[in-house]
Amino acid sequence: MKPIVPLLAGLFAASALSTSALAEPATAIIHARLLTMGPVGEIADGTVILRDGKILAVGKGLAPPAGSQVIDAKGAIVTPGLFAPNTVLGVREVNSVKGTDDAKSSSSDLGAAFDPQYGLNPDTTLVPVARLGGVTRAIVVPAPGGDGEGGGADDGDGALFDGQVLAIRLAGDLLVKPRLAVAMRFGENGAGGSRGAEIGLLRARLEEVRLYKQNRAAYDRGELRDLKLSRQDLEALIPVVEGREPLLVTVHRAADIRQVLAFAREQRLKVILNGAEEGWRVAGEIAAAKVPVILNATADLPRSFEIVGASLQNAAKLRAAGVEIAIVSPDPAHRVRELRYEAGSAVAQGLPYAAALEAITIAPARIFGLADQLGSLAPGKAGDLVIWDGDPLAPRSLPTAIYVDGIAQPLRSRALDLRDRYESGDGAPR
Model-wide pTM > 0.85? yes
Q: Are residues 201 and 335 in the same domain?
A: yes
**In the listed set 374, 393, 409, which residue is the last one of a domain according to the structure?**
374
Q: What is the pLDDT of residues 378-420, one digit of tens each?
A: 999 999 999 999 999 999 999 999 999 999 999 999 989 888 8
CA pair distance 12, 57, nearest whole angstrom: 8
Q: Are residues 42 and 174 in the same domain?
A: no
Residues 158-179 have a mean pLDDT of: 94
Q: Are residues 75 and 214 in the same domain?
A: no
pLDDT band for position 2 (cuts 50, 70, 90): very low
Is 334 contained in some domain?
yes
Q: Are residues 268 and 312 in the same domain?
A: yes
Q: Are residues 151 and 183 in the same domain?
A: yes
Beta strands in 116-157 (DSSP E): 135-140
CA pair distance 172, 90, nearest whole angstrom: 11
CA pair distance 164, 237, nearest whole angstrom: 10
Q: Are residues 298 and 403 in the same domain?
A: no
Is 16 contained in some domain?
no
Question: What is the structure's pLDDT at 280?
Answer: 99
Indicate the SS3 state at residue 49.
Answer: strand
Whether the predicted pLDDT of 16 surpasses 80: no
Q: Are residues 407 and 266 in the same domain?
A: no
CA pair distance 374, 48, nearest whole angstrom: 15
Question: What is the structure's pLDDT at 427?
Answer: 57
Sequence-separated (6 or more) residues with CB below 8 Å from residue 156? 108, 191, 192
Q: Residue 51 forms beta bridges with which residues?
A: 54
Burial of 305 (0-12, 13-18, 19+ CB in 10 A): exposed
CA pair distance 244, 181, nearest whole angstrom: 9
What sign results for the dihedral spanned by CA atoms 28, 76, 332, 310?
positive
Q: Are residues 143 and 263 in the same domain?
A: yes
Do residues 34 and 43 touch, judged by C-beta distance below 8 A?
Answer: yes
Q: Are residues 169 and 213 in the same domain?
A: yes
Give me the domain span that covers residue 86.
Answer: 82-374
Total domains in the chain come to 2
Is 423 contained in some domain?
no
Q: Are residues 66 and 89 in the same domain?
A: no
Q: Are residues 107 and 248 in the same domain?
A: yes
